[in-house]
Structure 1
Amino acid sequence: MPKWADVLLVPLLNLVLALIVSGAVVAYIGENPFDAMRIMVNGAVGSAYGWGYTLFYATNFIFTGLAVAVAFHARLFNIGGEGQAALGGLGVAIVALALPWPHWSLALIACTVSAAAFGAAWAFLPAILQAKRGSHIVITTIMFNFIAAALLNYLLVGPLQGAGMSPETARFPEGAHLPTAYDMASWLGFNRSAPLNVAFLVALAACVAVWFLIWRTRLGYEIRAYGHSEPAAVYAGIDPVRITVIAMLISGGLAGMMAVNAVQGEAERLVLDPVQGAGFIGIAVALMGRSHPFGVLLAAILFGILYQGGAELEFETSVPREMVVVIQALVILFTGALDNMVRDPVGKAFLRFRRAADQSGPKAGTPAE
């Protein structure tokens, strides 16, 4: 199968099948599936207002999708993005509240570094337990999600609680507020309510950085080699403990950086549950994007469309918002568990086309007439 078919065609067919099944479910509950699709698309990408929310959600999913993708390349299933992003929010809050920042650019750099450091730190212990003790990374990372939620709850009703009664920190100083889409591109029609902010550009830079790391550096080669075959990697002199820890640190750091968008950019304070499921959506994004940064970007935008379009669908029809969860689940089902249901027929079709082309061409050594 050509590379473009593996990266683009198979995921696209999986998406179409998921939408067909979703349309059948919408029709079953008494709504027109074509009208529902039109409302979702128009609500998500039909206006600057919709794009402002779609790309805001996509920014969260880019960070968590890249986090899962990097771990995937090392054959590690990091499902602790929720906890790592939550601790990244803690890192953002501590730095943002520490100083009266003179300019948002300085605050952005400091908060990004702090968010990545806190997220990486939260991934460090599961990585060590996996590398040294053989504790399964899936079990430890999901347990750390609950620990992170409990820790955040304790801090926001105690040491870090602001002046009010709500479980949240004080509002960040003005110098730590990030410019929004309205501030940067109001001429495109963005209004003040759009939560899209400069963190989207940070997410795009993260995609480029991850691509460069995985495919253009020695460390990236070692991560991919270890993921393809641990015995071969060990035979080649690659230390499995080192690769496991480094890959998880990078993964946790990327997940933590999601807080720059959700905490510093949108909420401008740390609140309970700043992640809101984006850590788990990142798993689907990485699966659908084939763990490639460009694929992660496209898949994140798709899930951003589903999120924003689902909100509009609930507002304009009787279709419940939970229907969006059903669509997301179907996308995950077809791109993950049922991937071979599409991949095998497509691969056989390309094989038949190639054999037919070889048979129709001139045979080697046969003189031309």
Structure 2
Amino acid sequence: MSEQGQSTTEPDAEVAAPQESRSRQVLREIAESSSMVVFMAIVASMIIGGLLIIFADEAVRESAGYFFSRPGDTFSAIGDALGSAYSAMFNGAVLNLQAESFAGMIKPFTQTLTMATPLIFAGLGLGLGFRAGLFNIGAQGQILIGATVGGYIGFAWDLPWGLHLLLAVLGCALGGALWGFIPGVLKAKRGAHEVIVTIMLNYIALYLVAWLLSLEAFQREGSDNPISPIVAETAQYPKILGVQFNLHLGFVLALACAWGVWWLMERSTLGFRLRAVGANPSAARTAGMSIGAATILTMVIAGALAGLAGSAPVLGTQKFLTDAVAGSLGFDAITVALLGRSRPLGIVLAAILFGGLQASGPSLQVNAGLPVDIVVVIQALIVLFIAAPPLVRAIFRLPSPAHEKEVAA
């Protein structure tokens, strides 16, 4: 009887042991993954941002003056400060729970998606370049040139609806592609470093647009300011949720481009060649791949995507051209591409995160009484932690990936 009982329990124990070891292995793989590093980098940034919110709150500083006599007041003030700040960020970026209508409730999230749209375009372009081994940081200039070409088509040409919008969007892509073609050719033919060339082209684009806005053809009638006429309605992105929301068709186009980049890099022969060149140029050259052609093509596609980022403000939200139309989109897109690990889905999610942080700024300032610079600090902290994975692993005691251990050994 005991032998039968032993024979029935031992197999169960043998089955349970592999299942337990398998679950531990899965947890270890999750802890070692780069996605966990990204997530914990965001957590660390929010924690440090919370500390800055606490230090910036006047009630917390006042109660800290008599902390040892009434410590409860300080902790209560800290809770109120954090609750007020993060609820203001939530109401400004996700859902406004205090709104009286459903439209008012969801408007913050639509604004988040609106602000994420140009970041998706530009982040896709930069991410594609990173995977092809090119550190393209010229998205700022490519956005400016793309917005200039598309904006000019939008306000200077008189075309029917549909065709006008199509040509304006293509103009944005063409302008960005041209500005990406220049560093691509210089690197492929002359060996010029793309970082230096794209930095210089950013400045050239800025002053070129400023000069163009001083010309009569680009100036708004009756104004001496460097501002273009308003883009014709036939060339504007239509609002996809109605006039009460800023979310426009550009967001749908951005998602379509994300799918297109995914298909290009993961399913096409061309994408395989670009990834091979980025992973090992020498091996790719030995296999008969043209490194120069891959470099030029990568920069052209990346520039076209960045140029489409310029279509978001000039054809969607702002609807006119200025020399500040790009804002800091080109540099924010670098962070988005790094945060998304240069993968389309990750870039879309990272762009929505950054769009939410930007959309929450006014609410944070008005409702919580805190400086909007807190949002910028949180973004900078995310960049810092993303750029230093060993630091994140050390803070949260995450295990290092197996291949890093093998290299260290």
Secondary structure (helix, strand or coil) at the match of 1:272 reads: coil
Of 339, 346, 351, 2:398 maps to 346
Secondary structure (helix, strand or coil) at the match of 2:354 reads: helix
Question: How many angstroms does 1:29 deviate by?
Answer: 1.7
Structure 1's 62 and 54: CA in aligned 2 closer, same or farther, altered over 3 A? same
CA contact (8 A) 1:7 1:295 kept: no
Structure 1's 230 and 162: CA in aligned 2 closer, same or farther, altered over 3 A? same
Matched letter for residue 84 of structure 2: D
CA contact (8 A) 2:32 2:401 kept: no
TM-score normalised by L of structure 1:
0.87
Give me the whole-angstrom Cα distance separating, in 2, the residues matched to 1:198 and 1:305. Answer: 19
Question: How many angstroms does 1:97 deviate by?
Answer: 2.8
Partner of 1:56: 114
Of 198, 202, 205, 1:148 maps to 205
Question: How many angstroms does 1:160 deviate by?
Answer: 1.1
Structure 1's 74 and 217: CA in aligned 2 closer, same or farther, altered over 3 A? same
Give me the whole-angstrom Cα distance separating, in 1, the residues matched to 2:214 and 2:30. Answer: 51
Partner of 1:203: 254
Greater CA drift, 338-347 or 130-139: 338-347
CA contact (8 A) 1:118 1:253 kept: yes
Give me the whole-angstrom Cα distance separating, in 1, the residues matched to 2:400 and 2:145. Answer: 46
Matched letter for residue 152 of structure 1: V
Give me the whole-angstrom Cα distance separating, in 2, the residues matched to 1:302 and 1:128. Answer: 34
TM-score normalised by L of structure 2:
0.79
Residue pairs, 1:1-369, within 5 angstroms: 2=29, 6=33, 8-30=35-57, 32-46=81-95, 47-103=105-161, 105-158=162-215, 159-163=217-221, 164-180=223-239, 184-186=240-242, 192=244, 194-336=245-387, 338-342=388-392, 345-348=397-400
Give me the whole-angstrom Cα distance separating, in 1, the residues matched to 2:357 and 2:344. Answer: 20
Greater CA drift, 233-242 or 314-323: 314-323
Identity of counterpart residues, as a percentage?
35
Give me the whole-angstrom Cα distance separating, in 2, the residues matched to 1:270 and 1:5. Answer: 46
Greater CA drift, 165-174 or 298-307: 165-174
Structure 1's 179 and 335: CA in aligned 2 closer, same or farther, altered over 3 A? same
CA contact (8 A) 2:241 2:247 kept: no
CA contact (8 A) 1:263 1:274 kept: yes
- What is the CA deviation profile of residues 63-100 of structure 1, one whole-angstrom value per residue up to 9, with x for unaligned ones? 11101101001111111111100000111122223432
- What is the CA deviation profile of residues 290-346 of structure 1, one whole-angstrom value per residue up to 9, with x for unaligned ones? 10000000000000010011221112233211111111000111112x123335853
CA contact (8 A) 2:122 2:330 kept: yes
CA contact (8 A) 1:59 1:199 kept: yes
Structure 1, unaligned stretches of length 5 or more? Answer: 352-369
The structure number with the bigger radius of gyration is 2
Give me the whole-angstrom Cα distance separating, in 2, the residues matched to 1:15 and 1:350. Answer: 23
Q: After the TM superposition, which parts of structure 1 deviate over 3 Å for at least 4 consecutive aligned residues?
A: 1-8, 342-351
Instruction: Report the RMSD for the aligned CA atoms in angstroms.
Output: 2.0
Greater CA drift, 3-12 or 24-33: 3-12
Give me the whole-angstrom Cα distance separating, in 1, the residues matched to 2:400 and 2:386. Answer: 18
Give me the whole-angstrom Cα distance separating, in 2, the residues matched to 1:250 and 1:176. Answer: 23
Question: How many angstroms does 1:52 deviate by?
Answer: 2.6
CA contact (8 A) 2:219 2:226 kept: yes
